[in-house]
Amino acid sequence: MIEAILISIVVLAVLILATVAVLRRLAPTDRSLPVTAGWIDELSTDRYRPMMRLLDSSDIGFLRSQAGYTRKMESKLRAQRCQIFRGYVRCLDKDFRQVCMALKLVLVQSQHDRPDLSAVLVHHQIMFASGMLAVYFRLFLYRWGICSVDVTALVQIFDVMRHRTSQPGARRHAGRRLEPLE
């Protein structure tokens, strides 16, 4: 009985720490974010295609089929891939936050209330934060060979928000530098 309680407390503590880490990443850190028409045009999900294949199990399978394969080699490959993957996830997170800040600028400077855009923004920020939490948790498990990591949903959420910034209403405000909203 006491073991079950201890395990529950440890799992709860890990979940709380992971949630705090994700929330800290979502907080604005830049003092000014470059939101220009050129920046919006440069945004693309194509830059994240390598990330989608980076943790593919076929590479591990190929490594295992080679003569001289050792578990240490696999562990090193997994560690290297996780490190690179984390870099991609950080870039995706930064791009997503910048897109959200651009949409907040549109909301603030709009002459009309935009409850539809506000609802979409909040909904997608929550979905993205939960997805980030799941990706980091699965990445931890991947490192030890327990599961795979799929970031397709995160990239799709980013793409939806990216399309929102490229709509005509958002473009009117794209020539300005965006100051973070407090």
* Alpha-helical segments (H) within the chain: 2-26, 37-42, 49-54, 57-65, 71-109, 115-143, 152-165, 168-171
pLDDT by residue for the chain (182 residues), tens only, comes to 888 888 889 888 888 877 777 667 666 555 455 555 566 667 788 889 899 888 888 888 898 899 999 989 999 999 999 999 999 999 999 999 988 988 888 888 878 887 888 888 999 999 999 999 999 999 999 998 888 899 999 999 999 888 887 665 554 444 444 344 33
Q: Nearest to residue 94, comparing CAs of 168, 7, 27?
A: 27
- Does the pTM surpass 0.75? The reply is no
**Helical packing angle, 57-65 and 71-109, nearest 10°:** 170
Measured in residues, the chain has a length of 182
